[in-house]
Chain A
Amino acid sequence: MTAQLTGSSPKPAVKPTAKSKAPGRKKGTSILVTGILVVAALYFLAPVYWVVVASTKSTADLFATNGFAFAETFNLWHNLSQVLSYDGGIFVRWFLNSVLYAGVGALLATYIAAAGGYALAKYKFRGANLVFGIILGGVLVPGTATALPLFLLFSQMGLANTYWSVLLPSLVSPFGLFLCRIYAQATVDPALLEAARLDGAGEIRIFHTVGLRVLTPALVTVFLFQLVGVWNNYFLPLVMLSDTKLYPITLGLNNWLSQVNRLPEFYQLTTGGVLLSIIPLAIAMVVLQRFWRGGLTEGSVK
């Protein structure tokens, strides 16, 4: 995609690349458009720039100097080592928890949604429409509306305030199933399945060998969607977890932020922690960006 857009050789037929669409566009327009894009970029990047600057400052400088300008003292390494060592390295633990919830959760959720979506797309069976209808309803139920009752349910089952309480709900992605179903309908060739059956493969095996392979592009999208969804989730862990050791990074950083009023040194921990937590995500977003391409509209595009 990137190559297409930046490449200078005009390749007409395939896709409407920038250059082919309008050769010889006026320079004025180009400057105007780029100007708008730059202003938008400033908006999206300014807070990130601020936190980079802020995390290099001491608490005193944070309040005494302009937020967009570096201070004379460079405190970054000191701040970051504080973040990493505070309370026995709890920040690292929060980070790993987030990786566990989001990574493992998204991986399993993708597999489970793929199996379900494939089943609904490739088999005709009684109840299929009912099941699909109910699950589709699940797409529209706000996640936070179920979080409270889920907490009450889990607390009865003794699951509240455990890793499971956040992990289990993260395994379900009605939207992922919806996407996999559409994608399987469009791309998994029934002839391929029939051929596998002729070879004597079991149904479940056919799913693993043929289905999953064909579904891969959709799976990447579902995985990323779920990964970001769980990583960003705040309400569910907030409701479920009271033990700070089980916190994901979002809850942990908020825990630090809520201490700044009484203890200003937490400003430095919070800004440093925010910086550390967005670096890997920023990299991931930029690198994985192209996988979002097809993303949500895969189905309607076909």
Chain B
Amino acid sequence: MPRISRRQLLHAGLGTAALGLLSGCATPGTRSVNVAPTIASVPGQKITIEYWSWLKNLQPVADIWNAANPNVQVKTVWIPGGNQGGYPKLYSALAAGGGPDLAHVEYGVIPSFMMVNGLVDLTRYGADEFAGRYDKTLWSQSSYAGGVYGIPQDSGPMATFYQPEILDKVGATAPTSWDEWAQVAAELRKAKSYMDCFPLAEAGFFTALAAQAGAQWFRADADGWIINMTDDATMKVARFFDQAIDQDLVQTDFGAYSPGWFAAAGKGEIASLTSASWGDALVKGISGGAGKWKVAAMPRWGASGFGSSYLGGSAVSVLANSRHPRESLEFAAWLTSTQQGVDAEIEHCGIGWSPATDVIGTARQQPSEFFSGQNYNQDIFAPAALEQNTQWSWWPSQQQSFNILSDGFRFKASGTSLVDTVVDAEQKIMTVFKNSGLSIRKESA
């Protein structure tokens, strides 16, 4: 008999222990940091802030700050670029109750991080005092529901990099409209070159062009999200590239900046590249490309839409488990909006376009030898940065939405048009919203 009771005891003990553990096991990211009391900074105490970013060589930049701020030391940790592994790392660190003070987060995924209560609302720590230094559009892309969830770090105003010599073969120059672009592309095909790539595996490029054409896929309303991915602007872009791919006007075997692309661009098989300002550093990596490239404003969608768009671009956000939000915010502001910070970022990290209205960076005010002596930053990108879609707003689960789009785009080869994919994606994205417990409805026409 005592044997039996011992076993029962054992089972009972095990059962309670297991239940206790499991019931404490809530789904991660369901507690909000922004209703907790703010954390006061303690002056005079030596602290260390950690910043996770995929910018290369960032520590020397932080060291400039460190030299001037002995009490607030910044340590940088490299992580893989966003969707390539950086975000999963951040999410998992957050779920584990840890993570750095600061993280590199693209504008598009700020809402996704907010969904898991991963970001600190910086208005609670005085972000407003820095607002005036930044481009209004960018500032609004990190502001949601009355809070500020990131300090703009860079942006990617778009333009077209091109090889004048190759275009000259067919008597063309950089096209100013997408219709003209298609004509030049058709001519180039006869000369065995492609005008550009269209990445089927990544939805960012398509999204940027839809935004340029004037689309506004999401907007927030009092009772939830409103989606509209099938507006005229988006459909125009989808139809345009459906046709371009069908007529073999664009290269779809590889995307820009892939090893295959570098090889093709070096051989002149790719004549141009419509991409963001940060692409300049990568274009410079094309072997034998010096002096062969120039930059022009990107083609327009006729009379409607905007002169440029944004591809990439990111903010510095304070993560939920930071114990030094105010100091982190101060460093972020120094890094992204002072002459010293921006110049150092350009020198060491090859950072994208500066988000600060008054500082574009000393190095970007001179002509570039690689780009045929053109002063392309001041001449092309600075105006482009002012011609972007100001209505555009990002939304939660942007990464999943992009994956839904690119999953559909991949089927382009087997006959599914981009138009069909976009229409289908809209439905799927609405399901995603509902599954994550958010309310969403289709824009009524």
Contact = CB atoms under 8 A, between A and B. Distances in A.
> Quick check: do A and B touch in the complex, using CB within 8 A?
yes
B56 A242 contact: no
B97 A153 contact: no
B97 A244 contact: no
Per DSSP, chain B at the interface is loop
Contact of B25 (A156, A258, A263, A264): A156
Nearest to B22: A153
A146 interface: no
A153 B21 contact: yes
Interface stretch (B35-43, B78-86, B388-396): B78-86
Interface residues of A, number: 22
A122 B77 CA distance: 53
Given A258-B80, A259-B56, A262-B56, A242 B96 contact: yes
Interface residues of B, number: 27
Nearest to A64: B287
B85 A155 contact: no
Interface stretch (B87-95, B157-165, B183-191): B87-95
A157 B282 CA distance: 44
A160 interface: yes
Interface in B1-56: 3, 7, 21, 24-26, 28, 56
Nearest to B80: A258
A126 to B, nearest CB: 8
Contact of B56 (A239, A255, A263): A263
Contact of A161 (B24, B80, B81, B93): B93
B98 interface: yes
Interface string A239-269: 1001010000000000100110111100000
A260 to B, nearest CB: 9
A125 B335 CA distance: 68
A158 interface: yes
Chain A interface helix/strand/loop/mixed: loop
B92 A242 contact: yes
A234 B89 CA distance: 14
Interface string B191-202: 000000000000
Contacts of B285: 264
Given A127-B7, A258-B85, A239 B80 contact: no
A155 B99 contact: no
Interface string A115-152: 00000000000110000000000000000000000011
Contact of A255 (B25, B80, B90, B99): B80
B98 A242 contact: yes
Nearest to B97: A155
A127 B7 CA distance: 10
A168 to B, nearest CB: 14
Interface string B275-286: 000000010010
Contact of B96 (A127, A161, A244): A161
Interface of B: 3, 7, 21, 24-26, 28, 56, 77-78, 80-81, 84-85, 89-90, 92-93, 95-99, 257-258, 282, 285
